[in-house]
Amino acid sequence: MAVDTPLSYRGLVLYEIYVRSHGPNGTFADVEEDLERIRSMGVDIIWFMPIHPIGVKSRKGLLGSPYAISNYREINPEYGTKDDFARLIEKAHALGLRVMIDVVYNHTSPDSVLVLEHPDWYNQNIEGMPITTVPAWSDIIDLKYPNPELEEYLIESLVAWSQFGVDGFRCDVASIVPVDFWMRARQRVAAVNPATIWLAESTHAGFIASRRDANLNAYSDCEVFQAFDMEYDYEIWPIWQAAVTSQVPVTRYLEMLRMQNCMYPANYIKMRCSENHDQARIMNLAPSPEQAMAWTAFQAFNKGSLLFYAGQESSARHTPSLFYTDRIEWGGYELQPFLSKLAHLKKEPAIQNGVFTITGADPAIVATWESRGGIGSVPCLLGIFNVNHASGLVNIPLPDSDYTDLFTGEQVSVQYGQVEVPEICAVLRYSEPINPRWFYSLLLDLNIPSDSQG
C-alpha cells in the first residue's frame, strides 16, 4: 500500500462507465447528461474504461476492444473530441465528482503509433515480430520492460492527462507491469496533482502463478500495493463467486477476508464490487434477486472502497460486449435507491476509519464496524446480510433493545440476543463497542480468539 494512502479512501464509491454502451449515442455527451443522476447516488469517482483510439489490425468484433489502444495521447473519435472530454471533466468537477481513466500499459494494438516509431519497445519473437505473451489476447502486442525511453513516454502521457484534469488512474493488469515503474509514475504525477488516486487491476492468483512459471513479469498484490491506493480483490474473487453460487460455504469466503487482513499493510484498501465489465452481472450470478442484493450490500459494508458498474442500478442481467455496439437497457432504475443507500453508508465515520469484525455467517453474515476510539466516539454499526436466502432467527452481539434499521427506517427489536433474519439486509447503529470481539474463522470452532480487522 502506498504509505500516504488515507484510510478514508475506504469510503470512496466508484462508478464504472463504458462510453460506447452508456447512452443512446455512445458519446461523452451522453455521459455528461447523466452526471447529475450519477452524483445523486452518492458516487465520488467516475471511472472511464479506455477513452483512446482503438486499433484496426487484428481487431476483435466489429468495433474492437477499448483495451487494444493505438494512441495513448488521443481520444477515440467514436466518443467525441478532446474538447468534449474536457467539458465533461469540467461538469464532473463542478458536481464534486472526480474523473478516473483507464491506463493500459502492458500492451497496445498491433497498429499502435508506437509500433512504427519504436518497434524495439515490444516483446518480439525470433523473427523480430511483436507478440503477445497471452495468446487469448490476440488483438494486442506486449510492451517490453524495462526500457527507460518507453517508460518516460508512458509517464509523460500520464502527466499530460493529469494536467488535462484527470484525477485518477485505473491501471489495467497492473500486476504484470513492473512495480518500480508504477512507483516512478506515481511520484511524477504527484507533482501535478498530489491527490491523484491510483487503482490497480491486480490479477487472479492463478494468472500470476502461470506467468511466473513461464519466467514472465508477475507481481503479487503485496508488491503492487507499494504504488497504489486501491487494488482489485481478484486474488479471492473465485472463492467469492463460488460462495455466491453456493458451490462453497460462505465461511470459505469470510476466511479469505481474514487472510487479506493478515497479509497486507495496515492501511490496505481493496476495491469491493459484485460485478464489473469483466465479470457476470450479480443478477445473473446469484440464485435469486434478493441474494444478489444481499451480496451487493455486504460488499458495500465490507472493508474497502466500493464499485458500481453502470446498469447495475437497473438490475441489468446482460454484460455489454466490449467489441460491438451493445447499449445498456436502463429500464426504470429500480435499484438506484438501494445502491444510493449503500453509497451513503460508506460515508459513515466508523466504516472509513474503524475496526471491521465478522461475528457470524449462519444463517446470515453478521458484521460490525466500531470506532478505534472506543466509548464516546463515533457511532458503531452492525450489519446483517441474508446471502443464504434464509428465514428464522439470527444471533447478534447487541444488548436487547430496539434499534433503527438504516435501510428501512423501521424498528428492529433484539430479544435474547436474536433478531429475525431480514429479507435482504439490515444495518443497525449502536453507541458502545462490544467486547470481546471475534472474527469468524475456523479458529472459532476451536474457541480460540482471533484479531479483529483494523
Q: Which domains, ranges and CATH numbers included, belong to the chain?
A: 7-347 (3.20.20.80), 356-445 (2.60.40.1180)
Tens-digit pLDDT string for the chain (454 aa) = 467 899 899 999 999 999 999 999 999 999 999 999 999 999 999 999 999 999 999 999 999 999 999 999 999 999 999 999 999 999 999 999 999 999 999 999 999 999 989 999 999 999 999 999 999 999 999 999 999 999 999 999 999 999 999 999 999 999 999 999 999 999 999 999 999 999 999 999 999 999 999 999 999 999 999 999 999 999 999 999 999 999 999 999 999 999 999 999 888 999 999 999 999 999 999 999 999 999 999 999 999 999 999 999 999 999 999 999 999 999 999 999 999 999 999 999 999 888 999 999 999 999 999 987 655 567 899 999 999 999 999 999 999 999 999 999 999 999 999 999 999 999 999 987 775 444 444 334 433 333 434 4
Cell representation of residue 442: 475456523
Query: Cα(365)–Cα(277) distance, rounded to whole angstroms?
Result: 27
**How far is residue 117 from each of residues 114, 124, 161, 195, 290, measured CA to CA in Å?**
5, 15, 22, 34, 54
Reply yes or no: is the peptide bond before residue 148 cis, omega within 30 of 0.
Answer: no
Query: Cα(238)–Cα(278) distance, rounded to whole angstroms?
Result: 13
| pTM for the predicted model, two decimal places | 0.94
In what helix (H) or strand (E) does residue 292 lie, and over which residues does it extend? helix 289-301
Query: Cα(386)–Cα(381) distance, rounded to whole angstroms?
Result: 17
Q: 121 in helix, strand or coil?
A: helix
- Residues shown for the chain: 454
Query: Cα(305)–Cα(342) distance, rounded to whole angstroms?
Result: 11
Alpha helices in 146-178 (DSSP H): 148-164
